[in-house]
């Protein structure tokens, strides 16, 4: 039978003493280079505050220079509906066709890995322009905006030289395009879509709006089949991401009939908290396209909801808006606006056109302008 081995007490004490002696020798070895300093806590906090103030001052100064440059460039520019201008599109740079030639709005764009930008391949001399997939990247409004905002390139570069701690600088346009410095290539998702729209980002919306009641109308007529419906779903999800806890919303899909995305919430609005937004996003995959689109009925339903919510005070008691996602509008529906929204124009209309039909674009643009939208 094996006996338990016990370490003799004297041996254990010798080991402890040996360890202490070794530690003492090490301390004596470094004692001359070690010193104790008294730290003034108030002075330390003051120094940190001054350093933080300087950091934020530099960032604010960089932003101010961009704002001034953008205002001046826009002031000097005259809108030209026939303007032709080739720019570096973030998705198309360095892309070639079957013959090996650069695609339109692409071109050779030098990209090099940079540690300061998480080792992403970037161009420190130029910015790129991103246009959402649901917008036409050669629309005159886009081209004109891209043209005058080229003036920001030299300000981007100068800001980075003055303050190398800067990371990304960008300009988000109300027209929908997004200019980003340094230039970097963007890649679509597995569906070939880039749903990012700067106007739907929280930083953009919160800077421009107050709490709001929003009805999102989604065209699910037959012409929206395929990629257009995919883009519409992602656009709705992006809009939901911009809403905060102070906002209220509902989503209505329409063709020849009205379809609430969540049938249990007909005729009302719900708070835009994360639980409700996630719940509605799960229902977006159930949308399918068929039939004809009767937008007038959908607008009537949306105005009715917003009017009732406003009278009962069950919403945000502030701004109201209708977000319209469609591939076209065959009429202006001024009779609906005259009945429900004019002359006060309390409800703003924000259309999102999916496709390139210019005739439909004119109708949607008129709706936005006539109802204080974009």
Q: Are residues 187 and 73 in the same domain?
A: yes
Average confidence score pLDDT of the chain: 89
Residue 294 domain flag: yes
For the chain, how many structural domains are there in total?
A: 2
Q: Which residue has tokens 């908290």? A: 273
pLDDT in tens, 17-34: 566 666 677 767 766 677
| Interacting residues of 80 by C-beta distance below 8 A, sequence separation 6+ | 140, 144
Residue 358 domain flag: yes
Q: Are residues 165 and 230 in the same domain?
A: no
Q: Are residues 178 and 266 in the same domain?
A: no
pLDDT in tens, 278-337: 999 999 999 999 999 999 999 999 999 999 998 888 888 788 999 999 998 889 999 999
Rounded to whole angstroms, how far apart are CA atoms 139 and 324? 19
Q: Are residues 71 and 216 in the same domain?
A: no
Alpha-carbon Rg of the chain, whole angstroms?
A: 30
Rounded mean pLDDT, 72-100: 93
Q: Are residues 158 and 228 in the same domain?
A: no
Domain-terminating residue out of 202, 219, 249: 202
Rounded to whole angstroms, how far apart are CA atoms 88 and 182? 12
Residue 2 pLDDT exceeds 50: no
Q: Are residues 66 and 180 in the same domain?
A: yes
Q: Are residues 185 and 240 in the same domain?
A: no
Residue 10: the pLDDT is 58
Residue 23 domain flag: no
User: Other C-beta atoms within 10 Å of 263: how many?
Assistant: 8
Structure pTM? 0.54
Residue 257 domain flag: yes
Residue 40 domain flag: no
Q: Are residues 263 and 283 in the same domain?
A: yes
Strand 248-254 relative to strand 212-219: parallel, antiparallel, unpaired?
parallel
Domain-terminating residue out of 202, 230, 246: 202
Q: Are residues 221 and 105 in the same domain?
A: no
Residue 155 domain flag: yes
pLDDT in tens, 186-237: 999 888 888 899 988 878 876 666 789 999 999 999 999 999 999 999 999 9
* Band of pLDDT at residue 104, cut at 50, 70 and 90: very high
pLDDT in tens, 124-175: 999 999 999 888 999 999 999 999 999 999 999 999 999 999 999 999 998 8
Domain-terminating residue out of 150, 185, 202: 202
Burial 70-108 (b: 16+ CB within 10 A, else e): beebeeeeeeeeeeeeebbbbbbbeeeeeeeeeeebbee
Residue 20 domain flag: no
Q: Are residues 145 and 194 in the same domain?
A: yes
Q: SS3 string of 143-195?
A: HHHHHHHCCHHHHHHHHHHHCCCCCCEEEECCCCCEEEECECCCCCCCCCCCC
Q: Would you say 303 and 340 are in contact if contact means Cβ atoms under 8 Å apart?
A: yes
Residue 14: the pLDDT is 57
With a pLDDT cut of 70, the percent of the chain lying above it is 91
* Band of pLDDT at residue 1, cut at 50, 70 and 90: very low
How many Cα atoms occupy the beta-carbon half-sphere of 28 within 13 Å?
6
Q: Are residues 194 and 216 in the same domain?
A: no
Residue 8: the pLDDT is 59
Which CATH number belongs to the domain containing residue 272 in this structure?
A: 3.40.50.410
**Helix or strand or coil: residue 349?**
strand
Residue 27 domain flag: no
Q: Can you state the angle between helices 274-283 and 227-242, rounded to 10 degrees?
A: 170
Rounded mean pLDDT, 333-360: 89
Q: Are residues 102 and 169 in the same domain?
A: yes
Q: Which domain holds residue 142?
A: 56-202
* Band of pLDDT at residue 68, cut at 50, 70 and 90: very high
Residue 15: the pLDDT is 60
Rounded to whole angstroms, how far apart are CA atoms 65 and 150? 14
């Amino acid at each position: 039978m094996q006996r338990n081995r016990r370490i003799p007490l004297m041996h254990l004490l010798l080991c402890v003493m040996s360890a202490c002696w070794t530690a003492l020798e090490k301390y004596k070895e470094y004692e001359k280079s070690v010193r104790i300093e008294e730290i003034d806590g108030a002075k330390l906090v003051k120094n940190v505050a001054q350093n933080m103030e300087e950091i934020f001052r530099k960032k604010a100064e960089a932003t101010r220079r961009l704002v001034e440059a953008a205002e001046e460039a826009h002031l000097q520019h005259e809108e030209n509906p026939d303007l032709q201008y080739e720019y570096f599109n973030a998705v198309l740079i360095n892309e070639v066709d079957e013959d090996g030639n650069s695609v339109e709005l692409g071109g050779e764009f030098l990209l090099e890995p940079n540690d300061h930008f998480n080792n992403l391949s970037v161009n420190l001399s130029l910015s790129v322009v991103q246009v959402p997939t649901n917008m036409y990247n050669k629309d005159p409004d886009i081209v004109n905006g891209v043209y005058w905002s080229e003036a920001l390139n030299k300000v981007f570069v100068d800001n980075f030289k003055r303050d190398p701690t800067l990371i990304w600088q960008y300009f988000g346009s109300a027209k929908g395009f997004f200019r980003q410095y340094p230039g970097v290539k963007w890649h679509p998702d597995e569906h070939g879509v880039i749903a990012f729209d700067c106007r739907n980002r929280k930083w953009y919306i919160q800077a421009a709006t107050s709490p709001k009641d929003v009805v999102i109308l989604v065209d699910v007529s037959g012409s929206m089949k395929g990629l257009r419906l995919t883009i519409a779903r992602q656009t709705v999800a992006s809009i939901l991401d911009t809403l905060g806890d102070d906002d209220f919303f509902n989503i209505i899909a329409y063709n020849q009939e009205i379809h609430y995305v969540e049938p249990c919430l007909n005729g009302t609005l719900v708070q835009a908290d994360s639980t409700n937004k996630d719940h509605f996003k799960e229902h977006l995959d159930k949308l399918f396209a068929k039939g004809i689109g009767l937008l007038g009925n959908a607008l009537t339903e949306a105005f009715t909801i917003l009017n009732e919510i406003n009278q009962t005070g069950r919403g945000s008691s502030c701004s109201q808006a209708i977000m319209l996602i469609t591939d076209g509008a065959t009429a202006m529906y001024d009779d609906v606006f005259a009945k429900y929204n004019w002359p006060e124009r309390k409800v703003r209309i924000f259309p999102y056109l999916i496709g390139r039909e210019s005739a439909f674009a004119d109708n949607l643009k008129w709706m936005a302008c006539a109802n204080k939208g974009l």
